[in-house]
A = this chain, B = another copy of it.
Amino acid sequence: MGKNMVFKIIFNIFLLLLIFPLFIILLWSFTKIWPWPDLFPKAFGLRGFQYLLNPSNNSLRILGLSIWLSTVVMFIAILISIPAAKALGLYHFKGKGFIKTLILAPIVVPTVAVTMGIHVSFISVGLANTFWGVVIVHLIPCIPYSVRILTDVFEIMGNSMELQARILGANKMQTFFYVTLPMLAPGLITAGSMVFIVSFSQYFLTFLIGGGKIVTFSMVMFPFIQSGDRMMASVYSMVFIWTTLLILISVERIVKSYYKGENYFYL
């Protein structure tokens, strides 16, 4: 029991470390004055939320668009990643380790360096300044995350269950939907969450390809953070974080409820 207590304490400290910053941000989003050594703000205000909710600057509409955009990116990224991850996870071929690393390159390649070329090509195929252009460009830094994570899952999971399904008469599609997908569930949630976050936070790529036609929430948030207006930065961060968390939690819930039981993997 003593062991359990230690675990609980550590766990709660951990939790606190996670929640504390969010709490501070929440506090700041209402704070007018908070002199240095004071433990609590001296004066509160609603300037930030008033601005956010003011229809003239479209913040909420932009938020909606961003959620939609990142959700689309999430789905497409997952769709592309599953076959790629499966090939990497299950088949053996020379240079596999190298390719598994290379796949991370798009995260590393400082987006700017690549976008030099990308922007030009997007203009030439008419994707610049369009929703789908932004979706495609978001996929670049997102896919490495989902591919790598799902590769791991495939590696550990193997394909014995898929084979079993085939034996029982399932064709490829059925195998995919009834076996592969549900068994991937935990990996899908993680990969999907990360893709959503990476896409939702994309700032530069959206600027470049969206060209101001596609404006996302991080684009309106970032300047406030940079300018050091703590109240505004906090209000936007708050909305940003909670939106993301809410969406990720719904993703988790939906996937879990769709595939019922959790942790059915191990003994």
Contacts and interface: CB of A to CB of B under 8 A. Distances in A.
Interface of A: 7, 11, 14-15, 18-19, 21-22, 24-25, 28, 36, 84, 87, 92, 97-110, 112-114, 116-117, 120, 145, 148-149, 151-153, 155-160, 186-187, 190, 193-194, 197, 200-201, 218, 221-222, 225-226, 228, 230, 233-234, 237, 240-241, 244-245, 248-249, 252-253, 256, 263, 265-267
Given A109-B25, A152-B187, A160 B241 contact: no
A99 B245 CA distance: 10
A156 B265 contact: yes
Contacts of A190: 148-149, 151-152
A231 to B, nearest CB: 11
Nearest to A8: B93
Majority secondary structure, A binding face: helix
Nearest to A103: B18
Nearest to A21: B114
Given A113-B233, A155-B263, A101 B252 contact: yes
B241 A109 contact: yes
A151 B187 CA distance: 10
A148 B194 contact: yes
A117 to B, nearest CB: 6
Contacts of A156: 153, 156-157, 186-187, 265-266
Given A97-B253, A98-B249, A101-B252, A152 B155 contact: no
Contacts of A107: 194, 197, 201
